[in-house]
Amino acid sequence: MTEKVYLADSYAKELDAKVVRASQGRIVLDRTIFYPGGGGQPIDTGMLAADGRRLKVIAVEKDGDDIVHILEGDPGLREGDSVRCVIDWDTRYACMRYHSALHLIDGVIETRYGSGMVTGGQIYPDRARIDIDMQGLSKERVAEILEEVNKVAREGHPITAMEMTVEEALKIPRLSRTETGRKLLGTLKSVRVVDIGGVDMQADGGTHVKDTREIGKITLSAYENKGSKRKRIEITLGSL
């Protein structure tokens, strides 16, 4: 099993690791900071430094409990070799800010507006989009909600992650608001919960910033009406 250091320390930019399995360009390490994608957050790109060589990581995949780093060509790495993981930090950090922004929007909608729900989302390094199911939602209303979200972000709420048992997780009403979500939770041994202090709690395997002030200013960049139950919004974040 690969130790997923990105879950414990989302700010780790470099990490020494050992090759435990190498099959041509597919490398499994004993531990890694490369995020394999999921929950709307894209994979990390970057490189493995080995023997003075810089091997580009072009894709990252989950394989059971392992993380597979896919390199260009066959780098000739062997089991036991030492490598240094280096992720493209600017891209990752941007994705962390967007990921936390989406949770915050979800949390503010749930706690301050009560009747809405974020039903999907996708994160990019330069923008993010989410689908919201909320009665009577309009572009003006979204702008108003985002103003409230920006206010809450500026208050500086801590963002932390914790592991809990499924029983504990199911007691948190917001954590699994849909039947499919509850079923999925039921299949897990433990659940990682990302908590934005006082605003939001979600089962999540992604990487986040540690304080809502790191999100920066959220701006509505696009609004699309995709039906009565689905409004798609796109946001961009200001520089810090």
Which residues sit at the interface with Zn ion, rule CB under 5 A? 39, 204, 206
What 3-state DSSP class applies to 203? strand
Q: How far apart are CA 35 and CA 43, in angstroms?
A: 5
Q: What is the amino acid identity at position 87?
A: I
Cβ at position 161, least distance to Zn ion in Å: 11
Strand partners, 50: 53
Cβ at position 98, least distance to Zn ion in Å: 10
Question: Of 138 and 190, which CB lies nearer to Zn ion in the complex structure?
Answer: 190
Question: Of 47 and 233, which CB lies nearer to Zn ion in the complex structure?
Answer: 233
φ and ψ at residue 31, rounded to 5 degrees: -150, 160
Question: Of 208 and 231, which CB lies nearer to Zn ion in the complex structure?
Answer: 208
Alpha-carbon distance values, 44 to 4, 19, 156, 230 (Å): 13, 18, 27, 29
What 3-state DSSP class applies to 194? strand
Please report, to the nearest 10 degrees, the dihedral formed by the alpha carbons of residues 166, 172, 178, 181 taken in order. Answer: -20
Q: What is the amino acid identity at position 110?
A: E
Cβ at position 84, least distance to Zn ion in Å: 28
Please report, to the nearest 10 degrees, the dihedral formed by the alpha carbons of residues 204, 210, 211, 213 taken in order. Answer: -100
CB 157, CB 196: distance < 8 Å: yes
Residue 180 CB coordination number (10 Å)? 8
Question: Of 75 and 205, which CB lies nearer to Zn ion in the complex structure?
Answer: 205
Cβ at position 99, least distance to Zn ion in Å: 6
Question: Of 46 and 206, which CB lies nearer to Zn ion in the complex structure?
Answer: 206
Going by C-alpha positions, the residue among 149, 95, 88, 153 that lies closest to residue 121 is 95
Question: Of 75 and 206, which CB lies nearer to Zn ion in the complex structure?
Answer: 206
Question: Of 32 and 41, which CB lies nearer to Zn ion in the complex structure?
Answer: 41
Cβ at position 206, least distance to Zn ion in Å: 5
Going by C-alpha positions, the residue among 109, 55, 99, 52 that lies closest to residue 206 is 99
Cβ at position 38, least distance to Zn ion in Å: 9
Cβ at position 27, least distance to Zn ion in Å: 27
